[in-house]
Amino acid sequence: MKKVYGSAGEALEGLLQDGMLIAAGGFGLCGIPELLIDAIVESGVKDLTIASNNCGVDGFGLGKLLDTKQIKKMMSSYVGENAEFMRQYLSGELDLEFNPQGTLAERMRAGGAGIPGFYTKTGVGTVVAEGKEIKEFDGQDYVLERAIVADVSIVKAWKADTTGNAIFRKTARNFNPPAAMCGKICVMEVEEIVEPGTLDPDHIHLPGIYVHRLIQGEHEKRIEQRTTRPAA
Amino acid sequence: MPWDRNQMAARAAQELEDGMYVNLGIGIPTLVANYTGDKDITLQSENGMLGMGPFPIEGTEDPDLINAGKQTITELPKTSYFDSATSFGMIRGGKIAAAILGAMEVSENGDLANWMIPGKLVKGMGGAMDLVAGVGKVIVVMDHTNKHGESKVLKECTLPLTGKAVVNRIISNLGVLDVVEGGLKIVELAEGVTEEELRAATQATLVN
């Protein structure tokens, strides 16, 4: 089966629909699927619900989809310094479901692993647990969190072979594997596509079974907070 | 004289013991790494890294290598990388010995609020709710009062909670307090700060 496509637009062909749920990998601007996000902006698809730890920054990454008002709802843990994200949320234009970061990651992992829900102590006694089942195990309260199964997931890896076996680089791995796992269809962009047999099978971070469509492209990889120390 | 940011960080570093795996929050907690001395401390960054190194030398920044505050950092020989689900597995699973983090408010029973001010400021909880629920010891480092001079050490938090009864120790610019049965206990005063000054800046119940 052919997984490699020529461009982000081609890779998303036939997958996008108004009102759909998309899971996106990345943490801040690190390891985000830049090319696929641009292609979604281009497509004009709207009323999206997006599960992603952050929503990019103003004007970059998923922030572009906020600018074009293509997002109806975000499922995120952190708004941070994204002014447009905060503005749309506070004005009521954007629905925002706050998820503790680890809960969001586990909801995605569970969605890909056939686990419909799980109990966690994260968020017990806070607004996050409101309206959810609380169950006691061994004297401690846990809240039931549901898995996320996305219509499409968009992720970014460093290298992959043509069958989708993927390797991530440093902290750019972050949400990409769980986001990939939870998609009914996963579209991945990488910096380099190689032939099967090139990557050491023992070093694969995400098996190709989770990856349905694949593209290679150039990434800007913008740095959000450039911090340095003086040379010794 | 109350402690400044660096003195608070230095005091917080005394809480860390050789061999500990620790998560440091954004702001003053990040400075704690500068004061761990010879202790073998492994820093966890919840975006997927154990063994966080210092900031890179200018010109060697790597966009694929950041901490949870999105700052460029470096790796160490002992570094390992993993995905977010694995990262929070080790947090929730109690493998991280301690978390040092900032706060907007702390209450006398250890409730913590540090993620949003309704209608005004929406930051998000990030990984803080998972950390306070999962790690061995939660240490808050913060100024004792806000910029209007009002106590941040309260009988009850007024802001949405990050966690309920999760804080073990508060290190403020005025001193060190422990969350104990019935309220907070003064463990230590910052040099030159009197007990009366600390009491005046504290709304929470203080017990002996």
A230/B73 CB distance under 8 A:
no
Residue B121: its pLDDT value, please? 84
Write the pLDDT tens digit of every residue in A4-36. 999 999 999 999 999 999 999 999 999 999 999
3-class secondary structure, A59: coil
Q: How far is residue A61's CA from residue B70's CA, in Å, rounded to a whole number?
A: 14
Rg (CA), chain A: 18
Of the candidates A89, A174, A229, the beta carbon closest to that of B55 is on A229
B136 interfaces chain A, CB cutoff of 8 Å: no
Cα–Cα–Cα angle for A13, A174, B55, rounded to 5 degrees: 130
Residue A232: band (very low, low, confident or very high) from pLDDT cuts 50, 70, 90: confident
Q: What is the DSSP string of A160-212?
A: EETT--EE--GGG-TTHHHHHHHEEEEEEEEEEEE-TTSS-GGG-SB-GGG--
Write the pLDDT tens digit of every residue in A177-196. 999 999 999 999 999 999 99
Of the candidates B48, B58, B62, the beta carbon closest to that of A174 is on B48
Amino acid at B79: T
Sign of CA dihedral B64, B68, B69, B74: negative
Residue A81: band (very low, low, confident or very high) from pLDDT cuts 50, 70, 90: confident
| Domain A14-115+149-216 superfamily per CATH | Glutaconate Coenzyme A-transferase (3.40.1080.10)
Choose among B82, B83, B100, B74: nearest CA to B21. B100
Q: Where are the domains of chain A?
A: 14-115+149-216
- Give me the mean pLDDT over the B169-186 stretch: 98
Write the pLDDT tens digit of every residue in B132-159. 999 999 999 999 999 999 999 999 999 9
Residue A93: its pLDDT value, please? 95
Chain B environment of A66 (Cβ under 8 Å):
none
- Give me the mean pLDDT over the B175-195 stretch: 97
ipTM over 0.95 threshold: yes
- Give me the mean pLDDT over the A41-50 stretch: 98
Q: Domains in chain B, please, with CATH?
A: 5-207 (3.40.1080.10)
Cα pseudo-dihedral A39, A45, A47, A52, rounded to 10: -20
Alpha helices in B96-188 (DSSP H): 128-134
